[in-house]
Amino acid sequence: MNTAAHNLPPPLLALYPALRSLSLEQLAELGQAMSARELPAGTQLFTEHQDCMGFPLLLAGTIKVVKSTATGREMLLYRVEPGGSCIISSSCLLGHTPYSARGIAETPLSLLLLPIAMFERLVADNALFRDFVFHLFAERIAELMQLVEEVAFHRLDQRLAKLLLARGETIRATHQTLAEELGSVREIVSRLLKGFAVQGLVRLGREQITVTDPTGLQQLAENSR
């Protein structure tokens, strides 16, 4: 890395290669404008109706973005991983609107916050950075459309079976966490899991679920009746 970028954390340009196209002056400005933030799991990064603070560049950890209802239920919209983009932040910055969901540190985080003025300048003047933002925007919109389809057209037991299969043989998660991912409530998810256990599809433990019959769980996930 050149001396102009000496203030930038080493993983940044590897995770966000679009930034490699910046000039020496821009890299130096980037290094001066941003500092790494180390945040513990559970930290709330932003809330609904809050003004946007900047564009997060995630170096380590996972952010979950959730939407809450008036009754207190939550649905996981998506996760942001290192090298990824938060489209809620992108849309707020591009549309000059407040946040429309909540961002929470799912694990300990290391991130940088790109200032609003610099984000706007890069989107306007740097084709590679602009392509990066809109490419990830398109990917995330496709994921959200799939989520809408799942919620609208698939039964909850099918969606739960699919979620368990995607997590592997052993799932370390609370029933509340799974409910949030499915946009449901803990009581319903617990009842479905107990039913799965009775059928021999899973084995339930303390904050742990073991898939014992993946074939049967796959058949349930694909059953459209």
**Closest to 86 in 3D by CA, of 164, 143, 124:** 143
Q: What architecture does CATH give domain 10-125?
A: Sandwich (2.60)
User: What does the alpha-carbon distance between residue 194 and residue 79 come to, in Å, rounded to a whole number?
Assistant: 27
Residues of the chain with CATH 2.60.120.10: 10-125
User: Domain 153-222 carries which CATH code?
Assistant: 1.10.10.10
**Which ranges of the chain would DSSP assign to H, the alpha helix?**
11-15, 24-33, 87-95, 116-125, 127-153, 156-167, 175-182, 186-198, 214-222
pLDDT bucket at 2, cuts 50 / 70 / 90: very low
The pLDDT value recorded for residue 168 is 87
Q: What whole-number distance in Å separates Cα of residue 153 and Cα of residue 27?
A: 47
pLDDT digits (tens, 9 = 90+) for 171-207: 998 898 888 888 787 888 888 999 899 899 999 988 8
Q: Give 118-139 pLDDT, tens digit per residue.
A: 899 999 989 999 999 899 888 8
Condensed to tens digits (0 to 9), the pLDDT of residues 16-37 reads 998 888 888 888 888 888 877 8
Q: How far is CA 73 from the centre of its chain?
A: 18
